[in-house]
Amino acid sequence: MRYFVTGAAGFIGSHFVRELMSGAYGVEPTGVTVYDKLTYAGNLENLASVSSDPRFTFVQGDICDGPLLDTVLPGHDVVVNFAAETHVDRSIHGPQDFVVTNVVGTQTLLDACLRHGIPRTVHIGTDEVYGSIDEGSWDENEPLQPNSPYSAAKAAAELLVRAYFVTYGLNVSSTRCSNNYGPYQFPEKVIPLFVTNLIDGGKVPLYGDGMNVRDWLHVDDHCRGIALVVAKGAPGESYNIGGGLELNNRELTERVLAEMGADWDSVQPVEDRKGHDRRYSVNDGKLRALGYAPQHKFEDGLAETVAWYRGNEAWWRPLKAKAAIPPR
């Protein structure tokens, strides 16, 4: 089995590739091609542990580049699409890059998969496509009601995924994950941002009243869920992937502070994000019926993540400047 994994120099995609090549998902790939544009969040150091494996190939490329995809895609058995612009704040600041990469890029990749007869494709999405929910949990049949330019672009990508299944018969499924955390996450995201700020003796920004709720999913659990969808997911279907722990942002902040040995004096309240969704919650029973269950307890995963950032300053320090959102 030859895998073609887009956006795999980033946080989640690189974890998937490292685990895939270790045999953790019960398959032994004969080849893995990582295809990544290497934007500010792409980092080949994330793949250093597998880069010397003879099965590994890296191609620097944009998923909007159809001619390049025509050159490098043929002969692969599975495509997993992680390539995306993902940071909500950046999407509010500059939506166009999100539409180009997440919508046009997805369409270009799906077209290439169709042209070259790729047997299996999985598109990686987000629970943010549902919008905000006051009570209960979304299942996959809920309407998509995105509220940020990021989530709107991801919802559009998912609609294209559905269209390529229905119209062309492409064997493609999609996933919708909750908030990820773990080692190698780019330091613009909330947990590594808080941890690295606190390591440097700085403060952590807390949006609004801090009562926005998210479900937290360890990156390893997420990637095992993706591997399960690759192997057992039905064509044309979407699958929620959750971590099973909902925390509001104040609770998350308290847990990070406690793990770092800091107190509430290290918190800096800031103006709320525009269009800030109040609560996300996914029902992942559909994937659990295929055998999925998260294995990482949040307290253990958070401790492991904090320890990783403490021990890998050489990895994240050069990235901190890139994490700042430039003026519009």
Annotated catalytic residues are 127-128, 150
DSSP-assigned beta bridge partners for residue 176 = 125, 240
- Spatial contact of 231 and 24, defined as CB atoms under 8 Å apart: no
> Which burial class, exposed, middle or buried, applies to 281 when counting CB atoms under 10 A from its CB (0-12, 13-18, 19+)?
buried
DSSP-assigned states of every residue in 64-114: T-HHHHHHHSTT-SEEEE------HHHHHH-THHHHIIIIIHHHHHHHHHH
Q: How far is CA 203 from CA 91, 138, 263, in A?
A: 24, 34, 10
Q: Is 127 helix (H, G, I), strand (E, B) or coil?
A: helix
User: CB–CB of 226/292 below 8 Å?
Assistant: no
| Dist. CA 219–CA 189, nearest whole Å | 13
Nearest-angstrom CA–CA distance, 233 and 159: 17
